[in-house]
Amino acid sequence: MREKIEEIKKLESAPKIIKNLYNKEEIEEFLNLYKNLPTTVHNKKQNVIKKRWLQGYNKKLEKLFCERLKKEIGDFQMDNLQDENGKDIYGLIQESYAPIGLHVDAGFEPKSQVYKQSLIPLSPVGSTVIFKNRFYEGSTNFTQDPEELKKKDLSYGQNKRSSEHLKLYGDKPFDKKIHEKYLNHENIDNLKGLEVELIYEWEVGSMLIFDRTHLHCSSSVIKGKKIGIATFTKK
């Protein structure tokens, strides 16, 4: 059970989109960083490549990122997993051809006071759906797929699987129009009780910041592949 729920709630705020935060050259540097980082996961079946933003590959970019984020959210600590050498990972860069399902990135450490997460798109087409609904346990993928729900033997940094969300937010059917337009990769019954807070249309140079307790997923709108950087903070 998570501690500090009251503290987490006190710092909650609406999701925020910051436009024109990174210029062309800076985005180019992020893409270069992505190219240079070693691949962590290449799931050929799901067609997704995941890389950890390891420290030391581009110190200038690390500094720039932290300074700009601090300007938006005030003091924070990165809430990171660690690499094999015990060094903090800055975040996760993901290149995918298929949308990511409903989940929450509320963290892996019950004692920590999770705060905001950020998303920086590095490719132009895509969108991310943030739901009003929140979840105060740890990082979880929400699904009804029995095969997924069977997965209990999780490795370091993997989300739990759960269908618990269906008991938390009521029975109201999800908006059919929004489902059709943005979320047709999700079973509409898996979205019961959820309401959309914000749909972030990706725009290169912008950044999305939102509370780590928000349920979210990518939209089904993908042209070819998309690349984005996700980072996670705590207080």
* Residue from 154, 162, 176, 104 nearest 133 by CA: 104
> Which of residues 79 and 105 has its CB atom nearest to Fe ion in the complex?
105
Length of the chain: 235
Bridge partners, residue 234, by sequence: 77, 114
> Which of residues 23 and 222 has its CB atom nearest to Fe ion in the complex?
222
d(CA 3, CA 116): 17
**In the complex, what is the shortest distance from the CB of residue 94 to Fe ion, in angstroms, rounded to a whole number?**
9
d(CA 52, CA 151): 23
**In the complex, what is the shortest distance from the CB of residue 167 to Fe ion, in angstroms, rounded to a whole number?**
22
**In the complex, what is the shortest distance from the CB of residue 36 to Fe ion, in angstroms, rounded to a whole number?**
24
Contact (CB, 8 A) for 87 and 55: yes
Using CB positions, name the residue nearest to Fe ion: 105
> Which of residues 105 and 211 has its CB atom nearest to Fe ion in the complex?
105
Find where tokens 């959309």 sit.
196
d(CA 63, CA 168): 39
**In the complex, what is the shortest distance from the CB of residue 119 to Fe ion, in angstroms, rounded to a whole number?**
8
Please, which residues have CB within 8 angstroms of residue 148's CB and are 6 or more apart in sequence? 141, 161
d(CA 132, CA 138): 17
**In the complex, what is the shortest distance from the CB of residue 25 to Fe ion, in angstroms, rounded to a whole number?**
27
Determine how many CB atoms are found less than 10 A away from the CB of residue 19.
8
> Which of residues 105 and 197 has its CB atom nearest to Fe ion in the complex?
105
> Which of residues 105 and 186 has its CB atom nearest to Fe ion in the complex?
105
**In the complex, what is the shortest distance from the CB of residue 230 to Fe ion, in angstroms, rounded to a whole number?**
6
> Which of residues 95 and 105 has its CB atom nearest to Fe ion in the complex?
105
**In the complex, what is the shortest distance from the CB of residue 120 to Fe ion, in angstroms, rounded to a whole number?**
13
Contact (CB, 8 A) for 18 and 72: yes
Task: Please give the residue ranges that form the binding site for Fe ion (CB under 5 A).
Answer: 105
d(CA 154, CA 147): 14
